[in-house]
Amino acid sequence: MNFTRVAIVALGFTSLAALASAHSIAIAATQAAAGSVSGAEANPANWPARNATVATDPEVERRIDDLIAAMSLEQKVGQIIQADIASVTPDDVYRYHLGSVLNGGNSDPGGRYNAPAKDWLAAADAFYAASMKPNGNLPRIPVIWGSDAVHGHNNVVGATLFPHNIGLGAARNPDLIRRIGEATAIEMRVTGLDWTFAPTLAVVRDDRWGRTYEGFGETPEIATSYAAPLIEGLQGRIGDEDWLRGPHIIATAKHFLGDGGTLGGKDQGDVQMGEASLRDLFSPPYIPALDAGVQSVMVSFSSWNGVKMHGSRSLLTDVMKKRWNFDGFLVGDWNGHGQVAGCTATDCAQSAVAGLDMYMAPDSWKELYRTTLAHAKDGALPLARLDDAVRRILRVKIRAKLFDAGKPSSRPYGGRFELLGGKDHRALAREAVRESLVLLKNSGGLLPLKPGATVLVAGDGADNLTKQTGGWTLSWQGTGTKRSDFPNAQSIWEGIDAEVKAAGGSAVLSADGRYAKKPDVAIVIFGEDPYAEFQGDRPDVGYDDAKNLALLRSLKASGVPTVSVFLSGRAMWVNPFLNASDAFVAAWLPGSEGGGVADVLFGKADFRGKLPYSWPKSSDQTAVNVGDANYDPLFPYGFGLTFADKGDLAALPESRASVAVADPGVIFAAGKPGSGRRLLLGAPGALSTNPGPQLIEARAADRVAQEDSVRLRWTGAGSAVAAIVQDAPADLSRQSNGDLALELELKVDAPPSSDVSLLMSCGAQCVGGFPLRAMLAEAAKTAKWTRIAIPLRCFEKAGVNMTRVETPLSIATSGTLDLVLSSARIVSPSGPTLQCK
């Protein structure tokens, strides 16, 4: 079914403004052109000079010259475009000469998040074969496949999952990092992939950022010490026979530059500071990365003083390529070029002119190919710049011996599926978990525990690999997975149970903390649910969890000594939880090896982890970094107790310094509109909160709890709308670019008698929508709860300006209809979505 503009007139609407909002606010989204914002132009002379690490090989350069001379213009353009496997076929790679494919966080072979490893390898073979299929006299250039293997080969079922970078930052162990890189590279080779979008070298300055856990720490220190060993683990050492091949792959240093320093911790936001601060805070890790021979650098979504990095010639070309002598290639981030001033996702010569070598154009690739080819012909994209981008990509492919490697399944390690989650790699991951744990409190020396004791294990994170592994795990957000998706993993509960049983003790799992016999000790495991990128952005760093806090307080009141194991992607204000616990462990997002937590809790190893981020004293202490004026965290950067340390902690204040803010992705839930939104009803042009029942009425309804839903009934007496409107326009462009969807849960009690439209609007004359009648009629036949998910990009294609959405949801019809709406959310979809062209 195609997504189209809805014929509003056919429904009898006379005023588009009525569908837009109760008010008529329009926000003009503007962005300063590159170089026009004061302080947005880098002076290369102010940056440290760097000599090239990899010596120029005349034979390689001659080979590149010969290839470029033999390539058609179409082939050159194809080489600089990367498409997502959810939107491209092997035949497309052949026809459009595409240089690269990627799998985004929600893209998998066959569209299955848990596709088996053999399907990944088969897909890699298919794309490779398409790129090497003879095509007249054109040279054959192998495709390269990129993937976000950011904590192991985390997109593939059965792979070893290492702690996320925040935990590895706590470990302070460069040799461990090197070995993790080596293991990850081998597991990627097993499935035929040859390029990872890692490591992330972000220096994170505001813990509200949803990607905080992807950074090693709040200062350049840890990332700078890790960059070279991790890249050498992934790629091998320059000059070695297996550099970039055999057990090694191509690595990516990302995201250049300043991704962790945006104002307010907003993902894809603006870094507002002078050039010296930008250089000194965020560039240091890139020097050892380049010295180690990293072959690709990913450009950041973010801006510097209003200018998008994807359009910053002074940083991409003048600093990275010229001052630092980087001779690999710069790859964009997910349609990031479309955020450059004057650009769209499908048309942006400006980004290539600024220095981008490969567009990451997941779903926009075909139209981008067309416009880029046109720009190469009309001169907007100079041929010299195009040839330079192609040269850089070919140089990396030749260095990696891809022209001579054969299909992925025939290469070393291809198809050796027993290496996914193999014994040695899991042991390495368990070691990493042990070294990542940070002990914040240990009153009375409660830890280490005696394994022969009677142990109660509680909390919603105890036996929950989805929560334990975090975002970027089998799906972009890390949600929607089940235990069977982790065949080579051990939950924290399973690790504790094995430890206690081996010592003759007794362990009981009770998520809610109930017990028949009073235990000697309780271990409560809880924390943040998985998220990734901007979906993890927060208004503050206060952790709220009434259920697990009540559980801790109940155990304390009962006299049960309690250890809290906190799972999180950032340092958070948890004063009430610290007060209710006798011992408190920051376990971050440990990955697949829960046994590593048990090893330390029961004394097989001592705590070694030290805080890579300062721990906040209050919920609004969001940007607290060592070296700040008036630096005053609860626990400082580098803090971490051992068993030998005195671990008592005085009672802490428990009042929140900031008010918890509701999830901005909630359009409707728990029987009411989300924060900052209202439900309006009525005829077009006459929407109100209580228009009377003549055209449409809304009544509270029950699904799981009392009045947790709303029943909407259209009488058929005339055209009518049920709309949820914003108090102020919302910018949903990030969400649209990130493949989020408007997801509804509803039940149809009486089918529609006329056409129904699901609409989103952004002001007068700015409406796009979807015909819903057939779907609702089908749902009425089952009388069951139905999930409907429409990608936000479909609304954008239908004409909605996603930078100023005023009405994120409205349902309109002139006929009769009776339905119950349980929820409406903007989310990473949990299942299939409707497709749009």
pLDDT at 672: 87
pLDDT at 44: 98
Helical H segments across 589-707, by residue range: 595-601
Percent of the chain residues topping a pLDDT of 70: 95
pLDDT at 8: 28
pLDDT of 103 above 80: yes
Tokens of residue 712, six digits: 């909407």
Contacts of 21 (CB under 8 A, 6+ apart): 725, 726, 729, 761, 763, 806, 807
- Residue 199 in contact with residue 165, Cβ under 8 Å? yes
pLDDT at 18: 33
What is the average per-residue pLDDT within 265-274? 96
Please report which confidence band the pLDDT of residue 831 belongs to, taking 50, 70 and 90 as the band edges.
confident
What is the average per-residue pLDDT within 766-787? 91
Bridge partners of residue 289, in order along the sequence: none
pLDDT of 704 above 80: no
Given 41, 187, 333, 388, the catalytic residue: 333
Tokens of residue 234, six digits: 């992934």
pLDDT tens for residues 356-403? 999 999 999 999 999 999 999 999 999 999 999 999 999 999 999 999
- Please confirm, yes or no, whether 628 is among the known catalytic residues: no
- Residue 99 in contact with residue 329, Cβ under 8 Å? no
pLDDT of 19 above 60: no
What is the average per-residue pLDDT within 763-785? 90
| Predicted TM-score of the model (pTM) | 0.86
Average pLDDT, the chain: 92
pLDDT of 188 above 80: yes
Please report which confidence band the pLDDT of residue 27 belongs to, taking 50, 70 and 90 as the band edges.
very low
Residue 413, phi-psi category: left (phi > 0), alpha (psi -120 to 50), beta (remainder): left
pLDDT tens for residues 391-440? 999 999 999 999 999 999 999 999 999 999 999 999 999 999 999 999 99
pLDDT tens for residues 118-139? 999 999 999 999 999 999 999 9
Please report which confidence band the pLDDT of residue 661 belongs to, taking 50, 70 and 90 as the band edges.
low
- Please confirm, yes or no, whether 745 is among the known catalytic residues: no
Position with higher pLDDT, 568 vs 833: 568
Nearest CA among 761, 760, 749 for reference residue 816: 749
Please report which confidence band the pLDDT of residue 10 belongs to, taking 50, 70 and 90 as the band edges.
very low
- Residue 15 in contact with residue 9, Cβ under 8 Å? no
Given 182, 275, 463, 533, the catalytic residue: 533
Helix and strand counts by DSSP (H, E) for the chain: 23, 29
pLDDT at 14: 29
